[in-house]
Amino acid sequence: MSVSHTSRRAFGQGLFGLSLLPLGACASLQGRSGVPGYDALLSDLHRRTFQFFWDVTDHRTGLTPDRWPTRTFSSVAAIGFAFNAYIVGAESGYIRREQAAERTFNTLNFLYNLPQGDAVSGTAGYRGYFYHFLRFDDGTRYKTCELSSIDTSLLLMGALCAGQYFDRDTTVERDIRRLSTALYERVDWTFMMRPSGRQTMGWHPEDGFIKAEWRGYNEGMMVYLLAMASPTHPIDPKAYQVWCSTYDETFGPNHGEPHLGFHALFGHQYNHVWIDYRGIADAYMRPKGLDYFENSRRATLAQRNYAIQNPMGFKDYGLDIWGFTACDGPADVKLTLDGVERQFRSYSARGPGDLHPFDDGTIAPTAALGSIMFTPVESLAAAKAMQARYGTDIYGQYGFFDSFNPTFVTDYPSREGHQTKRAGWVSNDYIGIDQGPILCGIENLRSGLFWRLMKGCAPLQRGLKLAGFEAVA
């Protein structure tokens, strides 16, 4: 059966009574010249990043590798992005809807039936949460990684999105809806609440809760929205105000117009894959005349401003070469290069401003491209400039490699990357949670697909209401 939109029911009303167009209206823009997001490079990248999720994910279990071609364990957050990728594939005609549905069902069914419990090994999670990383052979906990509140939330956002998309009255699509709901309702969100009134980032069966808690502002917002809205194990909505209570610590210019700061751009992107924050705001943002979409736009442009200013003098930073987030890096080492002593890191969060700034010259294409829904002109210019300057040094089978560092030109050994002629150090891998924002950002720019789907997701809309979001002019 070919991909069709004619039988899909039109969506009803969104959170604030806004009429939502049928998805077919979005898909009808496919291939039209002059539509934002349909540049040739973006179209190529759209297909390549989809293909990453389709090709490297285990078709039987649905386990998506954390990274590829280095394939050590699966990331549950990457699986969440994979659910979105399958929707993109079906909508774009890269695969048939039936193929997307089969892969989605296989994944949900495998995850739901994995063992849960408080043992140190042999389980995939506890209290409905999943461990951050899972073994490929049996889907259970990888080594001693944490039971993760954010990675579980990213998985669930993708699963709930799949439940919205696969809305037909067929056995497999009914099962997708049933399993996505069951996975969400199984999570005991109260388990991760701490005496501070905040959610912890995780738990280990060996020694209990992680000390780090979710304090605003960053990607942790989705944890609170999902937790408050749970029909089975909800947390007190007051937790959202506790979350917002630390916002003033990072609100300021941060290299651009005033905004809530978080140094790495992924913190400004992940929620926006699924939530359309345009025209809605909570009690903190309303007096400032901002919504979170505008906040992310400002945060993205602030990074671009920082690269133009280039206060630390790294190679190639400028108007169109920029983008800092959590990504691979050359090595954990201090070296003197071109007469300047610099501290480098391997995988790390990177970015200017905020409470934890760090910059070692490493640029991640996902930072600019994951923000393309906020800054289409600037992000597309960055993608074109990086691809033109560095070519196949940084652009391969599945799009942009995770990161590169033109400053790190040395024979010092790097476990995560290699030296190239044009780009200096380049990561060996594609990383699932960095590929996801690229694909989803392009799709949301083109069609608003995931935003439209999730406006019909009752738990998410309930979470936004409980958090105090209201329409703003």
Query: Mind spelling out the 3-state secondary structure of 137-177?
Result: CCCCECCCCCEEHHHHHHHHHHHHHHHHHCCCCCHHHHHHH
3-state secondary structure of 451: helix
Percentage of residues in the chain having pLDDT higher than 70 = 92
Is 66 domain-assigned? yes
- Find out whether 96 and 2 touch, Cβ atoms under 8 Å: yes
**pLDDT bucket at 25, cuts 50 / 70 / 90:** very low
Pairing of strands 202-204, 147-148: antiparallel
* Angstrom distance (rounded) from CA 437 to CA 365: 11
Q: What is the pTM of this model?
A: 0.93
- Whether the bond between 69 and the residue before it is cis, its omega within 30 degrees of 0, is yes
- The answer for residues whose C-beta is within 8 angstroms of residue 339's C-beta and 6 or more apart is none
Which tens digits make up the pLDDT trace of 154-201? 999 999 999 999 999 999 999 999 999 999 999 999 999 999 999 999
Which tens digits make up the pLDDT trace of 370-407? 999 999 999 999 999 999 999 999 999 999 999 999 99
* Angstrom distance (rounded) from CA 228 to CA 460: 9
Which tens digits make up the pLDDT trace of 426-450? 999 999 999 999 999 999 999 999 9
Which tens digits make up the pLDDT trace of 237-260? 999 999 999 999 999 998 999 999
Is 1 domain-assigned? no
Count up the domains in the chain and report the number: 1
Is 4 domain-assigned? no
**The CATH number of the domain where 442 resides is what?**
1.50.10.140
The closest alpha carbon to 423, from 396, 397, 386, 398, belongs to 386
Q: Which domain covers residue 158, as residue numbers?
A: 23-471
Sign of the dihedral defined by the CA atoms of residues 50, 268, 459, 278, in that order:
negative
Q: Is the pLDDT of residue 34 over 70?
A: no
Is 5 domain-assigned? no
Helix (H) or strand (E) holding 89: helix 76-92
Q: Is the pLDDT of residue 15 over 70?
A: no
pLDDT at residue number 36: 56
Q: Is the pLDDT of residue 6 over 70?
A: no
Two structure tokens written together for 180: 């996505």
Is 17 domain-assigned? no
* Angstrom distance (rounded) from CA 391 to CA 342: 27
Is 107 domain-assigned? yes
Is 12 domain-assigned? no
Is 71 domain-assigned? yes
Q: Is the pLDDT of residue 5 over 70?
A: no
